[in-house]
Homo-oligomer: A and B are copies of this chain.
């Protein structure tokens, strides 16, 4: 279904190349852009160009940043002896949003997933091991998703660390806040029972 404008077709094809955007949605987005002032359309395009030009990976934690070091790694008010290992940039944002963490991060860029052809060599695991081996760290929090791939990756990292003297922890698993017990899956409920905690140790 081509339109009567080559440029319109091209823009629709570009938007439709984005994940989850079909041709009809792409057309709707492009027509919305076309209704804007020319300066606004140019600003939209310039913002995308500036992405390629300015955004890069933090040398230390591989988070996205505009400088050599990301604001978190460059901050003096963060605890640089505690490193939270996460799968991707969105996970950093999710953890930052909790306002419960003051350490730094290490973004793997994915998890080990043989089916998708992603092995340890495709991830920032060597750089993590090197970062730990340099010393000076107290704790490594393996904050990966509680899935088969996440668990495999966590276990692989744990093995790679060998006997480096560092505390390795992982996120607590259990029933989610506000979940109904009767609808909680049995694995989660069973594990939360086995790992039950003294009542007065629960955070407020």
Contacts and interface: CB of A to CB of B under 8 A. Distances in A.
Interface in A11-61: 11, 14, 18-21, 25, 27-34, 38, 41-55, 58
A171 to B, nearest CB: 20
A191 interface: no
A42 B33 contact: no
A63 interface: yes
Majority SS at the chain A contact face: helix
A77 interface: no
Interface residues of A, number: 54
A185 to B, nearest CB: 24
- Per assembly, the copies of the chain total 2
A200 interface: no
A44 B21 CA distance: 15
A189 B10 CA distance: 41
A93 interface: yes
Contacts of A72: 4
Max chain B CB contacts within 10 Å: which of A11, A25, A55, A63? A55
Contact of A44 (B6, B48, B55): B48
B55 A49 contact: no
Given A31-B89, A66-B5, A90-B27, A51 B41 contact: yes
Contact of A50 (B10, B92, B93): B10
A65 interface: yes
Given A5-B66, A42-B52, A18 B29 contact: yes
A201 to B, nearest CB: 30
10 contacts: A1-B93, A3-B64, A4-B72, A5-B55, A8-B64, A11-B48, A18-B29, A18-B33, A19-B32, A41-B48
